Every structure is written in structure tokens, then in C-alpha cells.
Structure 1
Amino acid sequence: MSKLKKYILVVNSGSATLKFKIFNQENFEVAVTGIVEKIGLPGSFIAIEEKSSKRMMMKNYPGGIDSHQQALEVIFSFLKHWKRKIKVIGHRIVHGGQNYTKPTILTKSVLAKLKEYNQLAPLHNPINLSCVNICLKDLPSIKNVAVFDTAFYKTVPEHAFLYAIPYKYYKELGIRRYGFHGISHQYVANKTAEKLNKPLKKLRLITCHLGSGSSVTAIKFGKPIDTSMGFTPLEGVTMGTRSGDIDPSVAFYLMDKLDLDVREVEKILNQKSGLKGIFGYSNDMRDIMIAAGYKIKDYKATKKFNLQEQKQGKLALAMYIYDIVRYIGGYTTVMGGIDYIIFTGGIGERNQTVRNLITKQVRKAWPKVKSLAIPTNEELMIAQQVNDFS
């Protein structure tokens, strides 16, 4: 009698997307992969592929998929024959605060504690936790385990993660830099060492996860020592719709001059700023680069950009590149040198022009620096970390 294979389901939910993979527990080969895009927006799309049977599902939802709950219901309906084979479910949770620095079983008490961090990652944590609750409801006999984006940064020293505000706010309220995209940064750092056939503990890397959300991390001899995102994923470099670094007084000024409340300003900084705020038309880097005069292979902008839009596109791109170079330069100095810049994320992996613009600037100061583009695989990293819980 053949032994029943066991599998790991990994759920990776974003603000408007839901990615998932089912891995063979023994060799981490992908058995099923899928993605749901534009959740809560018109034109939602689901694509699922079952590797062994070549069974596929591709479906457009012109009216949109309303929620992550609806998306998971569609996924579970398609995968109902897999339910008895799944032994553990791994979830990417963006913010784990100071309490959670390793994979953790998601019990009621843990979920209650994690809910306290929703305000610190408003675009991510509430959705992450809603997906957990759906899995607990639909697959109650299976362990759900969290892997935290913030956990990777537990080695960042106190002088790097503290803000220069009264120390009691750190002790009493936990206000500090936490860092995000940790699962991705950890994966590509490990993959870099493997690709170079060198021990990670002998490399000085700066990893750049560049996508709608972007972050830069300094990894010195295998340990992160600083990262661009902070107390929330709002801090750091210019992003798709997030402002990145900003003088806090700007928020106070907006509230005073425009009679806005805290939540309205928070929405401006999280959802209406960054590349979108400067360019005006969209936060899609491909549109911005076309407006700035670059050609993008296999992509056509939905409109012809006028002179003002071209000017704003050039400005948005320049600000984006400048921010990333500024962080790389600072971290290189702090580490006492650099071996490789690693690019990952949607922009980092696929946009060679952006990579070239960044490395060209960095090489003016460090001519010998090398760069690599390494596709991230957060789902595999999560599967490997939750495997022992099955």
C-alpha cells in the first residue's frame, strides 16, 4: 500500500491579491499554484494550476471578487479533493511586533494579540488575519502557522531600530523600527549565497525588494543590521502609493491647513502618495517609465502622455532611483563595504532599466560593486519554516 503524501498549503495575501501554493512536504516541490488579482476591484482574475494533472482554472470576474473570503471560497471549491492531504497551513503575516520572532501556531489568543498590530500595517495585517480565520473555519482540523515579515529583523541592533523620541514610548508602547518584507529578503539572501557557492556569513549584501511596496535591507555576514521600513511599512523609500520617509510635521501641517483628521492624512500617505502622488496617472512603474521616455517590452500604455505627464513621470522615476541609491550608499558605509546588490520583487526582478539606473549611480562611489536579480519565493520560505509543525 503506497504511503499517502502529505502537503503544505501556503497562503500569501496582499491588499488586493492572494497567492497560494501547495508543496509536497518531503521535497518542497510545488503541486498546485494559484493567484487571485484585483480583489475588491473590477476585473478580478483567478488562475490556478495543478501540476501533476495539468488541470487548470482561469476565470475573469468583470464585476470583481468582493473579498479575500470570496477568493478563498473559490480556491477551496476547486481544491476540495486536496483538503485531506494538507497537514499544515502557513500564512505570511506582515506585522508580528516584538512578541513574535519565529513561526507561531495561530490560536485564538495569538490572533487576538496580532489584531493589536492591525493599525501598524493597515493595508496588510487585517487581510492576513481574515484569511487565517477563513482557513480555521473551513479546515478546522489543520494547524495554521504564522510566519512573520518582521521576524527576520530580530538581529538589528537597538541603536539602529530605535527612534530618537522618549525611550519610555519604546518600552511602554513598542514604538521602534520593525522592518518588513523580511521573508523575501531572507529568501534572496540565502539564494544568493547558494548561487555564488559562498557562505552567507562571509557576504555583505544589500537586498532591494522593489514592487508596489519597496524596501532595502543591509545584511552583513548573514544578519540584517538595518532596513528602510520602520514602525509601519510606510517608512523608507518612495513606493507605489506610499510616501516613504517624510518629516512628521508635514502630517500636522496638512491637518491644520486642510482641516483633516488623522485617518484622512494616514490615507493620503498610504494610498495617494509615492509614485502615484508624483506622477498623478498611476503607480505602475511601466507607465511611469514610458512617460519618462523609456520603452517597455511587451507593454503598451493605455494612453499617450502629455508634456506635463512626461515631466511628472521623469520626476517620479528620479525620486524613486534617488531614494534607493541613498539607502544603498548609507548601508554600504555602515557595513564597511559591499559585495553584491540583490534585486527582487516585481520591479526589481523584471525591470532591468531600473536596476541599471540604480547600479550606475552606486558604481560612481563603489566601482566594483556587483548586482544580481533573484526572483523571490516567499511561499517556499514559509513552507520550509512551517514544515516542522505538521
Structure 2
Amino acid sequence: MSVQHVLVLNCGSSSLKFAVMDANSGDELLTGLAERLHSDDATLKYKFAGDKHTNALPKGADHQTAIDTLVTLIGNFSLSQHLIAVGHRVVHGGEQFTGSQIITPHIIDAITQTAQLAPLHNPANLTGIRAAQAAFPELVQVAVFDTAFHQTMPKHAYLYALPYSLYERHGVRRYGFHGTSHAYVSLMAIKKLGLDADNSRIISAHLGNGCSVCAIKNGRSVDTSMGLTPLEGVVMGTRSGDIDPGLFDFLTNQLGYASAEVSDILNKQSGLLGISELSNDCRTIEEAHVAGNAKATLALDIFCYRLAKQIAAYLVPLAGLDALIFTGGIGENSDIIRAKVLAHLAFLDIHVDPESNLAARFGNLGVITTATSRAQAVVIPTNEEWMICQDAARLAKGVS
């Protein structure tokens, strides 16, 4: 089998996460993160052959600068000769894309048009695409959409109860996100737990700074908690999740907030940060909770209660449950949150095993419920990069 590598890029507004992966084995050969781009203290951190390094980038460094530095690293480590594709995470694909696509001018136009639905994400993704095209003009470039996995949702699940013309004319509907993660962990759950892929009922909870829950029936997304934007759904690190839409009118007309201020509050000042008034980092909040901080405890209680409610709601589209997955930075590492959520769900005859739950910290895969539980809860570390790598390699092979 020939050696084939894929460069995986995940561009944020001020960051660039990257990995060079072996498309046959999934091994990560080079991984890293360029962060604080467009600032005076931009850095690029990377890991190669087990060694970690940090390089300062020029003041005001942008995505192109970060990618130029990455190209140099790839050359220095003799990784370029086996590259066959670049895979890009793209947050919003609208209704146009039900799967990954080789990037063409038409695809770029479509991503650009969809940017109005994800103004904080798609423009950054496009920046990374253009920078990668300039750096690797000879390679196939592939877009992997967060929303694609959720295009199997039925109409009654994705439509809002709004004038239908808003959907027809402007695409106002629920799209869902974290699709690549939900797809990966559900496949792993079917494999590791010995479930029937064609007769399975799975709920996946991706918990990080952004959080979403997905109902997956027979391997297909049938409902998910995020909506038109990544703001809808459960409580997150700095996002409010579901709120009364009338709040916007109250804040603007009664309290005098500007529209942009309300958006900033809901997206950047709410969630765990807003309630705890400490941090959006779950580790900090848990430490404060253990130390007796009342607001930290309240933040965890609200987070877990809302999450458990969402999980329980998805028994409706699934008509039962075989497995509940915890993934993402919080889902994989917080035994406290997993235990609290499962305590809320005990009425479903799903009971946490304390020792297994504790052992499943720090990215260790494992079942965390008792043997007599009606359904299994399991911790599965997500690997979105591997999913992107596989799709990029598959499409690149079709071109060659």
C-alpha cells in the first residue's frame, strides 16, 4: 500500500489547527495550532516525533503567514512528497451539501453565499482555503461540512414554526453542527459496543466550549440541538443556548442595548461564563465548585440539567435508546458532569458506575454505566481530523 498523507486544516477567526495524517493508518505525523493570529503575540505550537515546539510568528501574522510557516515545517520534516490532499473543515454548508466536496470555484461561491448563516465561521474557513490553495496549488482541496451529517433530518425536525416563506426565500431552518464529530463517535459506538448499524438508537453529546446533542437512528442524524446557527440548544461555554426570543426585544427596546451588544452577550458572555462569573473553562468551574463557590455550582447544575433534558427529549425521535455517548473536551474529561447528567436520567434505568466513570477521564474510551443499566453510556474521544482525512483521501483518489 502506497504512503499517502493528508493535511487537515481547521481555521477559526484567529486560529489555525492543523494535522498531517497518514490516510491509511490514521497516525498523526505532525499536529499543531497557530493561535492569536492578527495580534502582536501570535504563536505556532506543534508536535512532531513526540517533541513539542513553540514558534513565535511575526506581529500581526495572518492565516497565510501561519500556512507559510506550516509549509516550511512540512518541507523540513520531509512530509510534502506523500501529500495527496488538503481537507478543510467548513462549518456551514447550508442545504446544498449532504457530503464532502472537492473545492472548485462553484464550491467557494456556495460557501461564500452561506457565510451569512455562519458569519463567525465560514469567512475564516474561506481564508484557510484560499491560503492553502496558494501554498499547495498542485493538491486536491476538499471541503468537509459540519452541517452535512444533519441533512438526513426530517422536515418536521428541521423547520421552525415561522412563516414558511422565510424558509423558502432565505433558508431559515435548523441545520445543526458538530456533524463530523457526531458521525465519528456514533460509528465508533456501533463498532465498540457491537450494535446493529441498521437497527441502532444512539444519542451523542459533544461537549466542549460549543456543545450539541444529536439523535442518531440507524446511523443517520434525525434531530440535533443546534439550529440555524451554533447558538441554539444546550448551555455552552460562553453561549446561552435556548432562550425566550422575546429577550431580544426586552434588551433592545426596554434596556437600550444595541443589536450587536445583544449578540455579543448571547454568544460571548453567557453560558458557563455568564452564570459562574469566573470562566468558560469547565476545569476552573469544577475546581471552584469543589471549593464551595455557589455560582460555580449553579453553573454546573444548570449546564447538566439542560443537557439531561435535551438527551431525554431525543427518546421521542429514537423511540428508545441503545447508547449515550459523551465526547468533546468536557464530555471526555469531566467525570463530575457525566455523573450529574446520568443522575438526572436515572428514571430511564441508566445508572453510572462510579469507578468506570472515574477511569474514563482524560480521553480514555470506556462504558461508564452499570451492567444492569437499560442502555449503555460510553465515553468516546472524538477524532474529527480522521474523518476529514478519510473523506479528503477518498475524493483525491477519485481524481487521480
1:334 maps onto 2:317 in alignment? yes
User: Matched residues in 1 for 2:80 and 2:179: separation?
Assistant: 29
Q: Which moved more, 1:230-239 or 1:364-373?
A: 364-373
The runs of 5 or more residues in structure 2 that have no matched partner are: 351-372
Matches for 1:157-172 after TM superposition, within 5 Å = 157-172=154-169
Equivalent residue, structure 2, for 1:146 = 143
Equivalent residue number for residue 356 of structure 1: 339
Instruction: Determine if contact 2:46/2:54 at 8 Å carries over to the other structure.
Output: no
Aligned: 1:207 with 2:204: yes
* Offset, 1:60: 5.7
1 CA distance for matches of 2:168 and 2:134? 36
**Stretch moving more, 121-130 or 318-327:** 121-130
Aligned partner of 1:70 in structure 2 is 65
Q: Counterpart amino acid of 2:389?
A: A
* C-alpha distance after superposition, 1:192-219 (max 9, x if no partner): 1111133322221110000000000011
Aligned to 1:378: 384
- The correspondence for 2:328, drawn from 326, 332, 345, is 345
The Cα of 1:31 is off from its aligned counterpart by 2.6
Q: Distance in 2 between matches of 1:161 and 1:193?
A: 25
TM-score by length of 2: 0.86
How far 1:88 sits from its partner (Å)? 0.9
CA distance in 1, matches of 2:40, 2:309: 37
Over 3 Å counting, the alpha-carbon distance change for 1:40 and 1:362 in structure 2 is: farther
1:263 to 1:119, Cα distance in 2 relative to 1, 3 A: farther
CA offsets 1:240-284 (integer angstroms, 9 cap, x no match): 111110111111221113433333322221111111111122111
Q: Is the 8 A contact 1:45 1:58 kept in 2?
A: no
CA-CA distance at 1:41 after TM superposition: 6.5
Letter in 2 for 1:19: K
Distance in structure 2 (CA, Å) of the matches to 1:99 and 1:62 = 37
Give the CA deviation at 1:57: 5.1
Instruction: Please say if residues 17 and 38 of structure 1, whose CA atoms lie closer than 8 Å, have aligned partners that are also in contact.
Output: yes
Question: Compared with structure 1, are the counterparts of its residues 8 and 202 closer, same or farther at alpha carbon in structure 2 (3 Å cutoff)?
Answer: same
Cα pair 2:63 2:131 within 8 Å, conserved? no
What are the residue-to-residue correspondences of 1:255-334 with 2, within 5 Å? 255-293=252-290, 310-334=293-317
Measure the CA separation in 1 of the matches of 2:83 and 2:157.
Answer: 41
CA contact (8 A) 1:189 1:200 kept: no
Does the Cα contact within 8 Å between 2:225 and 2:234 map onto a contact in 1? Answer: yes
One-letter identity of the residue aligned with 1:351: S
Question: Does 1:11 pair with 2:9?
Answer: yes
CA distance in 2, matches of 1:241, 1:66: 26
Distance in structure 2 (CA, Å) of the matches to 1:105 and 1:62: 31
Amino acid at match of 2:74: L
Q: Do the aligned residues in 2 keep the contact of 1:215 with 1:236 (CA within 8 Å)?
A: yes
Whether contact under 8 Å (1:237, 1:245) holds in the other structure is yes
How far, CA to CA, are the matches of 1:40 and 1:29 in structure 2? 31
Matched residue type, 1:103: S
In structure 2, how many angstroms separate the alpha carbons of the residues matched to 1:385 and 1:175?
Answer: 28
Match of 2:18? 20
Summarize the alignment of residues 107-256 of structure 1 with structure 2, pairs less than 5 Å apart.
Answer: 107-256=104-253
CA separation in 2, counterparts of 1:224 and 1:154? Answer: 8
Q: How many Å apart are 1:190 and its aligned residue? A: 0.3
Q: Using the alignment, how far apart are the partners of 2:317 and 2:174 within structure 1?
A: 17
Conserved? CA contact 2:16–2:63, under 8 Å = yes
After TM superposition, the score normalised by the length of structure 1 is 0.88
Call closer, same or farther: CA 1:210–1:15 in 2, change over 3 Å: farther
String of CA shifts for 1:286-328, please: whole Å, max 9, x gaps: 111122226xxxxxxxxxxxx8xx2221111111101110101
**Residue 65 of structure 1 contacts residue 71 of structure 1 at CA under 8 Å; is this kept in 2?**
no
Judged with a 3 Å threshold, the aligned counterparts in structure 2 of structure 1 residues 62 and 355 are, in CA distance, closer, same or farther, namely farther
Match of residue 388, structure 1, among 376, 390, 394: 394
Task: Return the offset for 1:159.
Answer: 0.3
Q: Judging changes above 3 Å, is the alpha-carbon distance between structure 1 residues 293 and 63 closer, same or farther for their aligned structure 2 residues?
A: farther
The percent of aligned pairs where both chains have the same amino acid is 39
| Cα distance, 1:323–1:44 mapped onto 2, change above 3 Å | farther
Q: Shift in Å at residue 180 of structure 1?
A: 0.2
Shift, 1:42, TM fit? 7.5
Give 1:168's aligned amino acid: S
Contact 1:204 1:335 in 2 (8 A): yes
User: Gaps spanning 5+ residues in structure 1: where?
Assistant: 295-306
Work out the CA distance in 2 between the residues paired with 1:147 and 1:282.
31
The residue number in structure 1 matching 2:366 is none
Amino acid paired to 2:381? P
Give the RMSD, CA atoms, in angstroms.
2.3
Contact 1:32–1:50 under 8 Å retained in 2: yes
Residue pair 2:84, 2:393 contacting (<8 A) in 1 also: no
- SS of the aligned residue for 1:200 comes to coil
Distance in 2, Cα, partners of 1:329 & 1:107: 42
Read off the aligned partner of 2:340 and give its amino acid letter. L
Q: Following the alignment from structure 2 to structure 1, what is the Cα–Cα distance between the partners of residues 128 and 171?
A: 26
Counterpart residue type for residue 263 of structure 1: A
- 1:29 corresponds to 2:27: yes
- Deviating more after overlay: 311-320 vs 236-245: 311-320
